[in-house]
Amino acid sequence: MKYDLFKNFFIHVLLILCILIIVFPLYIAIVASTHTAEALLNAPLPLLPGSEGLNNYTILLTKGAEVTGGQPLLPMLYNSFKLAMIVSLGKIFVSILSAFAFVYFKFPLRKFFFWLVFATLMLPIEVRILPTFQVVSTLGLMNSFSALCLPLIASATATFLFRQFFLTIPYALADAARMDGATPWRFFKDIILPLSRMNIVALFIIMFIYGWNQYLWPIVALTDSEMSTILIGISQLMSVADQIPQWNFVMGSAILAMLIPVVIIISLEKWFEKGLVR
């Protein structure tokens, strides 16, 4: 008994230690975002929050550009949100349908299409950025949100996960449905879709974050600064040539940029986890 108590205590201490290590960078970022840029130029950096926080965040959200570069972050946050929504919903739509077909149908060229789709897992957009840009231009989609979203939807992560899930659904179920004379569409709508509810939410979270966190493609694809996402804003802050990085603003925007996805993952955590438990 005493041994167990000690062990339990030890586990808690270990966990708290790990969490402190993981939270530390965030803490420092929050601290840095509450000081003046000047306070962060010299070596012993403050370890406790300063008094400039409100001021820094107000500037970042409403004016932004005045001090360092780019524009206010508020519209950028909205753009990121829009991008993340379109990408996640679009991905779920295309992948649940195709995963369904791949698992429950036998049709000519099934294997071929399967690998065609799964190949997208192997060559992410960073590697084919120039050709993708050309394709988007050729299709006349330049400078539109479709240009930003569509190439990001063309990835099979969600299909992969839906397939994994469908494979865990007992064969008997599908078999029974077929025996009852259900058409594939009814089987999909009445059985698979309700069963996948959890997975859809879980995937929505994953894909939302995927969309929100896109970095290189938006930089290349967007010519209109009004469509800038928050990560573009940060990269502009980081790379303003011939200027001093204003760490208070960089850290402030980093906090703002992670706020929405972090809140989503924490508040929807129950769904997220349940969705993964079959």
Partner 1 sequence: MIARLKNILYFVLLFILSSTVFAKKIEISFWHSMAGQLGRTLNEIVKEFNDENANYHIKTVYKGTYPETLTSTVAAFRAGAKPDIVQIFDIATATMINPPGVIMPVHEVFTKVGLSLPLEQMIQPAIDYYSDRDNKLLALPFNISTPALFYNKDLFARGGLDPEESPKTWDDVGRISRILIKKGLVSNGFSSAWIGWSLFESFSLIHNLPFATQNNGFDSIDVKISFNNKEIQTFIKKLFNWQKENIFLYGGRLDDGQSFFTSEKCAMFIQSSGSYADIEPSVSFNLGMTRIPYLANYKESELGNLIGGAAIWVTNNLSNEKLLGIAKLFRFIMSPRIQLKWQNATGYISVINSKYLPKQESMTSTEKMLLEVQKFVISRENKYKGIRLGNYMQIRDLVERQLEAVWAGYTPADEALDLAAEEANRMLIRFNRNIK
Partner 2 sequence: MKYYTYSKNKIVPYLFIAPQILVTILFFIWPSMMAVWQSVQEGDPFGISSEWAYIYNFKDVFLSKSYLHSLWITLLYGLFVSVFATVFGLILALLVCRVKRFAYIYKILLIWPYAVAPVIAAVLFRFLLNPAIGILTEFFSLFGYEWNYHLNQWDAFWIVVVSAVWQQISYNFLFFLVGLRSIPKSLLEAASIDGASNFQRFFHITLPLLSPTTFFLIVMNLIYSFFDTFGIIHIITQGGPSNSTNILVYKVFNDGFVGLDIGVSAAQSVILMLIVTSCVLLQFKYVEKKVHYS
Residues 83-122 that bind partner 2 (CB under 8 A): 93-95, 97-98, 100-102, 104-107, 110, 113, 116-122
Instruction: In angstroms, give the least distance from the CB of 232 to partner 1.
Output: 8
Determine if 12 is a binding residue for partner 2 (CB under 8 A). yes
**Contact flags string 123-142 toward partner 2, x per CB under 8 A:** xx-xxxxxxx-xxx--x---
Determine if 13 is a binding residue for partner 1 (CB under 8 A). no
Residue of 8, 55, 62, 137 that binds partner 1 (CB under 8 A): 137
Determine if 133 is a binding residue for partner 1 (CB under 8 A). yes
Q: What is the Cα 47 distance to its own chain's centre?
A: 30
Q: Which residues of 209-242 are buried (b: 16+ CB within 10 A; e: fewer)?
A: bbbbebeebbeebbeeeebbbbbbbbbbbeeeee
Structural tokens at position 103? 């698992």
Instruction: In angstroms, give the least distance from the CB of 217 to partner 1.
Output: 12
Determine if 172 is a binding residue for partner 2 (CB under 8 A). no
Determine if 190 is a binding residue for partner 2 (CB under 8 A). no
Residue 218 CA to residue 181 CA, distance in Å, equals 47
Residue 256 CA to residue 60 CA, distance in Å, equals 9
Q: Residue 238 or residue 268: which is nearer to partner 1 going by CB? A: 238
Nearest to 79 by CA among 217, 202, 218, 204: 218
Residue 269 CA to residue 262 CA, distance in Å, equals 10
Q: Which stretch binds partner 1 (CB under 8 A): 2-10, 40-48, 101-109, 268-276?
A: 40-48
Structural tokens at position 134? 């050309």
Determine if 244 is a binding residue for partner 2 (CB under 8 A). no
Determine if 47 is a binding residue for partner 1 (CB under 8 A). no
SS3 label, residue 1: coil
Residue with the two structure tokens 């957009």: 125
Question: Half-sphere exposure of 7 toward its Cβ, with a 13 Å CA cutoff?
Answer: 4
Q: Residue 57 or residue 212: which is nearer to partner 2 going by CB? A: 212
Residue 122 binding target from partner 2, partner 1, none, CB below 5 to 8 Å by type:
partner 2
Residue with the two structure tokens 């008997």: 172
Burial of 199 from C-beta contacts in 10 A (0-12 / 13-18 / 19+): buried
Interacting residue ranges for partner 1, rule: CB under 8 A: 37-38, 41-43, 65, 68-70, 130, 133-134, 136-138, 142, 219-220, 223-225, 235-236, 239-244
